[in-house]
Amino acid sequence: MTKLIAFLFIFIVTVGFAVAQDSLQTNISVHDPVMVKQDGTYLLFATGRGISFWSSKDMENWKREDPVFSSPPTWAVKAVPGFKGHIWAPDISFHNGLYYLYYSISTFGKNRSCIGLATNKTLQTDSKDYLWTDHGKVIESVPGRDEWNAIDPNFILDENQKPWLAFGSFWNGLKLVKLADDAKSISTDPQQWFTIASVPRSTTDPSAGNGAIEAPFTFKKKDFYYLFASYDYCCKGINSTYKMRVGRSEKLSGPYKDKEGALMTKGGGTLLLQGNADWHGVGHNAVCSFDGKDYLIFHGYDAKDKGRSKLRVEELSWDEIGWPLLK
């Protein structure tokens, strides 16, 4: 009887461990990823229905968590015709004792878009304090009024610890706007807006530029603010041409210049990474610091898997004059 009990105990533990292991996935399919770390756990948010949410202990084996929203935000359905709950390009930051999750409400190819905000005390789903509070719309773009698109948000604090939001996709480029101190609305004291990057369009010479720029991510490193952006086309599987470029500025508001001194508002940007035989395109990156190391978090279109979008995590280093490099 003792041996039987011992056998049953080992069997139950083994099966339970196997089930737990089966719930973990590697090479996960994500789009527009961003990551943060809390209490030894990496939390990943990405484009998806209700905002895709994953957790991991090692940045390699991932567990899918319940999405942030179980149903589309009512305000968003009313604000953007055609929106049905597929939320784009979230951005996660810890600010004022809360996790701030900005997210994009839009439909493909249109600039009738909004950036919303949800907050949470914790990202540990088993905590009694785990609860998302949606604060609704922060920024919106309206066709015919705005020549910019209110998607792809990225939160950053300036040298005075004041909050700003970078955002934008196509149209006339990437924008930066100052937020109110609680980071839940645009500052009105006074409003401050900047264009920080763009790709000029040409109606006569398509090779001169097509406006294909999006996904700003700002990162402070020593004396500079770095602006990472994605150029050319995402979301086309094997035909994706996405690539990442970077510039830097001593001021958050710019001007951002590349290694050669070209302005990012004039189409400049030093190439950081582009597609190759293994990846059809790479882009929509975040830059995160964990345990003294910097990482580039992004998605690529896997050439070995019919162009499916996959998570990629690469350690980021910096050259002797402060420009980012991939190891």
Question: What residues are labeled active site?
Answer: 32, 214
* Contacts with 82 (C-beta within 8 Å, 6 or more apart), sequence order: 107
C-alpha 37/C-alpha 123 separation (Å) is 9
Q: Which helix (H) or strand (E) holds 225?
A: strand 224-231
DSSP track, 45-96: EESEET-EEEEESSSSSEEEEPPS-SS--HHHHHHSTT--SEEEEEEEEEET
C-alpha 310/C-alpha 322 separation (Å) is 29
| Cβ-contact 116, 103 below 8 angstroms | yes
| Cβ-contact 51, 68 below 8 angstroms | yes
β-bridge mates for residue 197, sequence order: 174
β-bridge mates for residue 293, sequence order: 290
β-bridge mates for residue 100, sequence order: 93, 119
Sign of the four-CA dihedral 209, 228, 174, 237: positive
Alpha helices by DSSP H, the chain: 2-22, 74-79
* Contacts with 172 (C-beta within 8 Å, 6 or more apart), sequence order: 147, 148, 195, 198, 211
Q: Position of tokens 């710019």?
A: 254
| Cβ-contact 236, 230 below 8 angstroms | no
> CA dist 223 to 17, 49, 220, Å?
48, 39, 8
C-alpha 265/C-alpha 250 separation (Å) is 16
